[in-house]
Amino acid sequence: MNEPLPPSRSASASASWSEWEAPGRVNLIGEHTDYNEGFVLPFAIAQRTRARGRTRDDGLVTVRSAQEPEPVEFPVTTAPGDVLGWAAYPAGMVWALTDAGHVLPGVDLALDGDLPMGAGLASSAALECSVGAVLADLAGVAIDRTTLARLGQQAENAYVGVPCGPMDQLASMHSRTAHAMLIDTRSGALEQIPLPLVDQRLSLIAIGTPARHALVAGSYADRRRQCEEAAAVLEVRTLRDAGTADLSRLVDPVLRARARHIVTENDRVLETTALLRSGHVREIGRLLTDSHTSLRDDFDVSCRELDLAVESSLGSGAYGARMIGGGFGGSAIALVDAEQAGRLISAVKSAFSATGLPTPTAYSVVPSPGARRL
């Protein structure tokens, strides 16, 4: 499962451009469980970020993005705090690789893609993984997919300042067509789980709300801190080790609610996995909806737009729906019969229009392969 990145096609990687693409992801279920050493069930989507690079001999890194007006330049010796904003993600990968002991040359990087930023689809992980693969390629670094994913997490944690778990980067590097991937974030075990949407004439609709999230803000870090506090009260390593019987020991109602989400969400991931293994895809719908309710009420990371996306989807025939990503904005997903997908999309857009909110984007997402060389 943990295969190495393929070697460069060029005998001398530095003699030519290297180009990689890495996908965003939809997390089918298992939200905020990854930094609690729990279970998650993501899959990669077709929307991707592309990174193209070539070496330069002055020890500098220049990053240009088709979505940004100006390039950003920094030295290969960059350290956390040097680069802020969108360029912190590629700069973080330069830092993470050098911090791991790899010697990198100066690099010109060009970025593009069709993966929207701030939509809860792991655009940051796709950027980290595509850039990391290009950097490793140009430096002649032999590295496997899991190690590169972990370096992406390190870059986001220590350089960008988002205390995320490893789910997004692992999904971006390891996903396969027509499968979700069960990740045990404690052991690192990965298991491909069939997700036969097309075979069962189902569609999974991603609804991109107009509420953009910014996880660098303190709310995400607050949730992680609250989980750590709850685990300390319960005297367990992480909330992965807690059960429903333990929740009554949490006197603080906020800590109890946060812990209840993590405990029940881990159970929902495992139940969803069991249903997928037996081919009962429609039956996971109720678990998706239960996950949203828990994220809304116990973890308090939903918002008006995400709730409206879920409610209007359920009112339009969805088997289940929920917010995805860290929350505070971003996207939701809805599981629906394929022939009803158009009707659901129209109903959701009408619901937003009726409340005076900007029209959301809505489109079908399919389980797609992970990062690859172009």
Q: Tokens 């081919």 — which residue?
A: 279
Residue 285 in tokens: 């719908």
Distance CA 294, CA 212 (A): 21
Query: Which residues on neighbouring strands pair with residue 52, listed in sequence order?
Result: 19, 110
What is the DSSP code (8-state) at residue 319? S
For residues 178 and 279, the answer to whether their CB atoms sit within 8 Å is: no
- Catalytic residue (one of 137, 168, 246, 290): 168
Catalytic residue list contains 168: yes
Q: Is 213 helix (H, G, I), strand (E, B) or coil?
A: coil
The values of phi and psi at residue 31, to 5°, are -105, 130
For residues 150 and 166, the answer to whether their CB atoms sit within 8 Å is: yes
Distance CA 334, CA 309 (A): 9
Closest CA to 172 of 372, 28, 334, 3: 372
Q: Which residues are within 8 A (CB) of 226 and not within 5 positions of it... i.e. 6 or more apart?
A: 254, 255, 258
Closest CA to 182 of 39, 2, 3: 39
Distance CA 329, CA 301 (A): 8
Distance CA 144, CA 134 (A): 13
Read out DSSP for 141-152?
---BHHHHHHHH
Residue 214 in tokens: 């910014």
* Region for residue 6 given its phi and psi (left: phi exceeds 0; alpha: psi -120 to 50; beta: otherwise): beta
Which residues are tagged catalytic?
168
